[in-house]
Amino acid sequence: MRQINLLNTTQSFSGGDLIWLPSGSCLFSVPWKAATMVEMKKPSIAVFVEDVKASPSYGVVYCDGSLWRVRKKYMHKLSKKGDE
C-alpha cells in the first residue's frame, strides 16, 4: 500500500533553524487579520520561529525583518557543513 503524507512535510523544524525558501514560495503576514500575501521572486534564507498551532502544515518564519506564515512544503532546512 502506498503511504501518502497529507501535510506534504518531510522535515521537522525547531525554533532557530535556518530555512531556505525557494522562489515562488508564498508568504502570508502575521497576524491573519491584515492578511498580506507575498510571492518570493528569488530564493531566500529565513529563521524558523514556530509551528502554526491552528494549521500544522504552516510554520512561522522570520524573513526580511518580518514574521511570515509559510507552508512547510516550501521550507528546506539548511544543514551544518559536514552533516548529511
Domain residues for 26?
18-77
pLDDT band of residue 5 (cuts 50, 70, 90) is very low
With respect to residue 67, please indicate whether it lies within any of the assigned structural domains.
yes
For the chain, the domain total comes to: 1
Residue 65: which of 79, 51, 44, 39 has the closest Cα?
44
The kind and range of the H/E element at 20 are strand 18-21
Task: Provide the CATH number for the domain around residue 23.
Answer: 2.30.30
Q: Identify the residue whose cell numbers are 494549521.
A: 55
DSSP state of 12: -
Reported as a single tens digit per residue, the pLDDT across 18-76 is: 999 999 999 998 876 677 889 999 999 999 999 988 888 999 999 999 999 999 999 99
Q: Please tell me the pTM assigned to this model.
A: 0.77
